[in-house]
């Protein structure tokens, strides 16, 4: 069975992430959506809230698992038996960051490779912080996120 890991901070998960996940399932039999930790980020949603949104958004997708790992993503890959890490590229500006991340991962684990999918052009402006900002400003973000994310924002403001 060909397994892969799609890591991110998913704060929150968006239709951009869902698109990459769907496309990765055409290449891999099983993909774990991994909530990983970027120490440079302050999150809006807790780990539990983000996991709940990730689980709900993917509940009807056979072949998808959801997990959390606080350490190095490549260590998770090895324990899980995956040789590939998935990432999405939205624009040229993502490239430099992804190039550095890929080099760091390769240094730590030369046996793990990264696979990149280019976002559809209509999704290239979407990022989690853009969603958070638009939502804070009162813009309807429902076309850009799975329905559970809209629910979670409502729950948070109650």
**Which residues in this chain contact ligand COA in the complex, by CB under 6 A?**
7-9, 11, 14, 16-17, 20, 36-38, 41, 72-73, 88, 90, 101, 104-105, 119, 123, 126-129
- The residue whose Cβ lies closest to ligand COA is 16
Query: Among the options 50, 87, 119, 128, which is catalytic?
Result: 128
- DSSP secondary structure string for all residues of 48-96: HHHHHHHHHHTTT-TTEEEEE-SS-HHHHHHHHT--EEEEEE-SHHHHH
Separation of alpha carbons 89 and 23, rounded Å = 13
154 is catalytic: no
Characterize the bridge pairing of strands 30-35 and 3-8: parallel
* Minimum distance from residue 152 beta carbon to ligand COA (Å): 15
* Minimum distance from residue 72 beta carbon to ligand COA (Å): 4
Q: Would you call 140 exposed, middle or buried from its count of C-beta atoms within 10 A (0-12, 13-18, 19+)?
A: exposed
Query: Among the options 24, 50, 90, 119, which is catalytic?
Result: 90
84 is catalytic: no
24 is catalytic: no
3-state secondary structure of 3: strand
9, 36 Cβ separation under 8 angstroms? yes
90 is catalytic: yes
Based on CB atoms, which residue is closest to ligand COA, 105 or 135? 105
Based on CB atoms, which residue is closest to ligand COA, 79 or 129? 129
* Minimum distance from residue 47 beta carbon to ligand COA (Å): 12
**Residues catalogued as catalytic:** 17, 41, 90, 128
């Amino acid at each position: 069975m060909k397994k892969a890991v799609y890591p991110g901070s998913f704060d929150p998960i968006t239709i951009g992430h869902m698109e990459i996940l769907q496309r990765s399932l055409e290449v891999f039999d099983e993909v774990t959506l991994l909530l990983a930790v970027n120490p440079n980020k302050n999150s809006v949603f807790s780990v539990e809230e983000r996991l709940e949104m990730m689980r709900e958004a993917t509940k009807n997708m056979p072949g998808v698992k959801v997990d959390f790992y606080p350490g190095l993503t490549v260590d998770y890959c090895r324990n899980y038996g995956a040789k590939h890490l998935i990432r999405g590229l939205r624009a040229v500006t993502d490239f430099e960051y992804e190039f550095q991340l890929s080099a760091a991962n390769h240094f730590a684990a030369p046996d793990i490779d990264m696979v990149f999918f280019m976002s559809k052009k209509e999704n290239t402006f979407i990022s989690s912080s853009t969603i958070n900002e638009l939502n804070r400003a009162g813009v309807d973000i429902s076309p850009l996120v799975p329905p559970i994310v809209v629910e979670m924002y409502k729950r948070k403001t109650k």
